[in-house]
Amino acid sequence: MRLWKVVVLVDLAVLIGLGGGYLWWGRQAARLERELAQAQTAQVSVEREWTVRGVVRAVLRESNLIVLSHEEMAGYMPAMTMGFRVAAPQIYDGVQVGDAVRFTVRGVPPNVVLTGLERAPAGGGNR
Amino acid sequence: MSLATLGLLARWAHLGLSVAVLGSAAALLAAGRSTRPTALAWQARVLALARGLAILALVTGALSVAYQAANLTGRPGAALDARTLGQVLLDTQAGHVWLLRTALLVLLLGFLAFRADTRERADWLAARGQALGLAAAALALLTAGGHAAAVKPGSLVAMTIDAAHLVATGLWIGALLPLALLLRAASRPEGADARPQAVLAVRRFSRLALVAVLVLAATGVGNAVIQVGSVAGLVGTTYGQLLLAKLILLIPLLLLAAVNRRRLLPQLPGDAVTVGRPAMQRLAAFMAGEAALAVLVIGLAAALALTPPARHLQPTWPFAFRLDPAVLDTAPYLRLQALLGAQIAVLGGVALLVALVTRAHRLTALAGGALLGALGLALLGSALAVDAYPTTYRRPDVPYQAASIEQGARIYDQHCAVCHGITGTGDGPDGRGLPRRPANLRAAHVGAHTAGDLYWWITHGIPAGGMPGFGERLSEEERWGLVNFVRALGAVDQARKLGPTVEPQRRRLVAPDFTFAVGPMPAQALRDYRGRRIVLLVLYTLPGSHARLAQLARGYQLLSMLGVEVIAVPRDAAPNAIRRLGAETPIIFPVVTDGARDIVAAYSLFGDAPHAEFLVDRQGYLRSRWAEAGDPRRSVNLLLAEIQQLNEEPQAAPADEHVH
């Protein structure tokens, strides 16, 4: 075989090898990402419960909401200020704006309700 | 010999050998095909040389990676430990790059060892072109395991620039020695058959080398901007000094190349015995000399590759002065001198240009131009020169943050106020007896000094002015706190001139950064809003501010939609601030329960009314200030107009945490 043909074939082989390797690696990465995403959605598609610390920002009985600035809810949402629907009217008892609380949220995201709320021990929770 | 020296030697040898392999392939291609015996003998010799170089490149590459393993793990033994080496090769980017490059070099070696039939033109081109391509790829990939790959963002640009730099080096420097061999062979009486080819090869190479040098200059500047980035980095860090040494070594190399190109190259086709052959011999010797100098340059390049880039180091300014055009703003009497100097220097430049193009009076024009240029630059330089210190270009270790300013303010009251005055105007009681009046820290000139200047004065004092040094009494953090406080103090008068409306033309003041927390939420920083939201910082006092906060709370939805975050800071820094706001109007924007004290201390410098509002734009600049005692008459609509103004503005450069 003529040398230039050998060179062309070798270069083609190298290019196909590199390109194939790159594609394989890319698909591997995409597959891993997909699996990760699946694992995460699998986590949130069943009923779960989070108990985190927060501070009461507003009590809106007429809309059945308590607005809380809260910590991260692992696997669901980062720390933020947002309103939660309240599961039972007695939860409102004694709740005041500015209270440092521990509260429990339960449900299948995004349908979650606030099922429990207690004042955090004095001194703690505000740091 | 220390491990680091061995690593440097391995890197040096590997870089040089990789360059030489590429150059050999380029020289063979530049010389072209020939059937003459001397040329064939030379080709065989260069091929054998290239094989040897490639083998050595593989060996030194292996040594280099072994050193990297030892360096990464911190144990010299790791260089010989198969498991660690395997980990480095398979789990690090540098390892992957090394594997790929080794594969390319092995392929190249196999190719060079393969004695193929190259009598046909296509075959010959394929053989030589393939060798060139593989060698160039192996050399260019070096960049993927170096500093350029670590540049963020824009590593692709940095790597492309660096790869072009490497390949241009290979084409120029690497081809010198093989071509010198060809010239030597052709200059011998029995090598007469190769003479036409040698002349052709050197001419082609000369054109290629000129392009390569231009590419090297351009990519070298690009590399320097990316990895060094400042004059201080160039003269004040190890990396920059190595780069300067490399540039200085390049001067004789380029002079030699210019002599070869302009003087010797035209002589080559001359009469063989009297002109051509002696010129060839001399050119061969000069090219070998160029190659020898280039080995040193490559050594410095290897050292650069193993030194942390200047951009990541704190520069130590080596001179007692620096040139600062801003001097002319504060000292108008220097303007005339600077203008005169600049014009004389331009005159000198023109004279030098004239010397380049005319033959008559060339020497006079040259000497006159040099003299005028030097005089002009000296005049200009002495006008712009201001005192500088080793720490002048040091970047603050502690950023311009409220907590640091607050710390600095406390230290200022304790140590500095006696001379510089409680408000910083330089009228403290103990300052009167000093040789020089203490500096007015509120004056505009404070902004002309770098943070490093202030740090130096605070640390070592100003003996001529009677200012003591505090290097032994205060920790580094405390001294940086003072620097940050003085910076804030220098901005006070400007900040207090800010009105409630955004003025696009006004000089931008950096809003000191701060961290804060709301209840149990994790701490956030003002900086986190950079590029994302406008921040309305509200320093409030109850009960006066109640109406205004309720007004902002009612307008919060609209403000949010327009890209504004409201951060409310209680002046009394009460931990139960949210409760004290009450439940009447739901307030759900961040109300700072942790970190308020530092924010209040820093921002009170800019406005100490019970209720003050600051608008911070997306770039982190303080743009408007509204400080009136609990006046709720200002409607949210007025605020919306200011926000609209900010939203419509083109993006400015983001604020720098550091001075200058």
Q: Give the least confident one: B258-262, B475-479, B596-600.
A: B258-262
A54 vs B519: CB contact, 8 Å cut-off?
A: yes
Chain A residues near residue B590 by CB distance under 8 angstroms:
69, 81
Find all residues with CB under 8 Å of B232, minimum gap 6, and list them. B315, B317, B392, B393
CB contact (8 A) between residue A53 and residue B120: no
- Note whether B523 contacts A: Cβ–Cβ < 8 A: no
DSSP notation for B616-636: E-TTSEEEEEEE-TT-TTS-H
Q: Please judge whether A126 and B593 are an interchain contact, meaning their C-beta atoms are less than 8 angstroms apart.
A: yes
Distance CA B45, CA B135 (A): 18
pLDDT, tens digit (0-9, with 9 covering 90-100), for B423-464:
888 888 888 888 888 888 888 777 778 889 999 999 999 988
- Name the minimum distance, in Å, from the CA of B24 to any CA of chain A: 19
Which residues lie below 8 Å from residue A98, measured CB to CB, with a gap of 6+?
A55, A56, B576, B577, B578, B579, B580, B581
Q: Is the pLDDT of residue B116 over 60?
A: yes
Contact at 8 Å (CB) between B619 and B651?
yes
Summarize pLDDT for B294-310 with one digit per residue, the tens: 999 999 999 999 999 98
The share of chain B scoring above pLDDT 70, in percent, equals: 98
Look at B521 and A6 and tell me if their CB atoms are within 8 Å: no
CB contact under 8 A, A98 and B130: no
Answer yes or no: is pLDDT of B409 > 60. Answer: yes
Per-residue DSSP letter, B240: H
**Cis-peptide, bond into residue B543, ω within 30° of zero:** yes
Say how far apart CA B511 and CA B567 lie, in whole Å: 14
Best B578, B580, B591, B597 residue to mutate vs chain A (most A CBs within 10 Å)? B578
Of B466 and B330, the one with more pLDDT: B466
Residue of B nearest to A126 (CA): B519
Per-residue pLDDT at B243 exceeds 90: yes
- Kindly report, residue by residue over B171-227, the tens digit of the pLDDT: 999 999 999 999 999 888 888 888 888 889 999 999 999 999 999 999 999 999 999
Q: Which A residues 16-35 touch B at CB under 8 Å?
A: none
Q: What is the DSSP string of B299-326?
A: HHHHHHHTS--GGGS-----SSEEE-TT
Residues of chain A with Cβ-Cβ distance to B550 below 8 Å are none
Contacts of A55 in chain B (CB under 8 A): 518-520, 578, 593
Contact B520 A60 (CB under 8 A): no
Q: Is B487 buried (19+), middle (13-18) or exposed (0-12) by CB count in 10 A? A: buried
B19-33, B621-635, B640-654: range with lowest mean pLDDT? B621-635
Q: Spell out which residues of chain A touch residue B123, defining contact as CB-CB under 8 Å.
A: 2-4
Report the half-sphere exposure of B402 (CA within 13 A, side-chain side).
21
- Which of A114-123, B275-284, B609-618 bottoms out in mean pLDDT, i.e. has the lowest? A114-123
Task: Place B564 in a pLDDT band, splitting at 50, 70 and 90.
Answer: very high
The verdict on a CB contact (< 8 Å) between A57 and B588 is yes
- Is A4 in the B-facing interface, judged by CB distances under 8 Å? yes
What pLDDT, on a 0 to 100 scale, did the predictor assign at position A123?
46
Mean pLDDT of B540-569: 90
Q: What is the mean pLDDT of chain B?
A: 89
| Whether residue B117 has pLDDT greater than 80 | no
Check CB contact under 8 Å for B130 and A11. yes
pLDDT on residue A121: 67
Residue A86: φ, ψ to 5° = -100, 130
User: Shortest CB distance from B588 goes to which of A11, A81, A96?
Assistant: A81
pLDDT at residue B34 is higher than 90 = no
Chain A contact for B554 (CB, 8 A cutoff): no
- List CB contacts (< 8 A) between B588 and chain A: 57-58, 67, 69, 81
Chain B residues touching A72 at Cβ < 8 A: 522
**Interface contacts (A, B; CB < 8 Å):** 99
Q: A10 and chain B: CB distance < 8 Å anywhere? A: yes
With an 8 Å Cβ cutoff, is A59 touching chain B?
yes
* Beta-carbon contacts of residue B612 (< 8 Å; ≥ 6 apart): B538, B539, B603, B606, B625, B626, B627
A7 to chain B: nearest residue by CA?
Answer: B126
Where does the pLDDT of residue B629 fall: very low under 50, low under 70, confident under 90, or very high at 90 and above?
Answer: low
Whether residue A96 and residue B583 make contact (CB cut-off 8 A), yes or no, is yes
Query: Is any Cβ of chain B less than 8 angstroms from the Cβ of A50?
Result: no
Alpha carbon of B486: minimum distance to chain A alpha carbons (Å): 30
Show which of residues 70-99 on chain A sit within 8 Å of chain B, judged by CB atoms.
70-72, 79-81, 96-99
Q: Closest Cα to residue B313, out of B383, B363, B239?
A: B239
| Beta carbons of B580 and A98 less than 8 Å apart | yes
- A126 with B122: Cβ contact below 8 A: no
- In angstroms, what separates the C-alpha of B105 from chain A's closest C-alpha? 13
Contact A58 B588 (CB under 8 A): yes
From B35-49, B112-126, B238-252, the region with the lowest mean pLDDT? B112-126
Question: Is A123's Cβ below 8 Å from some Cβ in B?
Answer: no
Contacts of B129 in chain A (CB under 8 A): 7
Q: Which residues of chain A fall below pLDDT 70? A: 41-44, 121-127
B117 interaction partners in chain A (CB closer than 8 Å): 3
Q: Which of A4, A55, A59 sits opposite B520 (nearest CB)?
A: A55
The dihedrals phi and psi of B30, each to the nearest 5 degrees, come to: -70, -35
Residue B217 pLDDT: 94
Interface of B with A in 584-623 (CB under 8 A): 586-590, 593-594
Percent of chain B with pLDDT over 90: 48
User: Are residues A6 and B587, on separate chains, in Cβ contact within 8 Å?
Assistant: no
Q: Give me the pLDDT at residue B481, please.
A: 95
Helix or strand run (H / E) with residue A58: strand A48-60
Which member of A8, A54, A96 has the closest CB to residue B520? Answer: A54
Residue B569 has pLDDT above 90, yes or no: yes
CB of A42 within 8 Å of a chain B CB? The answer is no
Judged against a pLDDT cut of 90, whether residue B266 lies above it is answered with: no
Do residues B532 and B565 make contact, with C-beta atoms less than 8 angstroms apart?
no
State the Cα–Cα distance between residues B220 and B331, nearest whole angstrom. 37
Whole-model pTM: value is: 0.78
Q: What pLDDT is attached to residue B127? A: 86
Contacts of B577 in chain A (CB under 8 A): 98
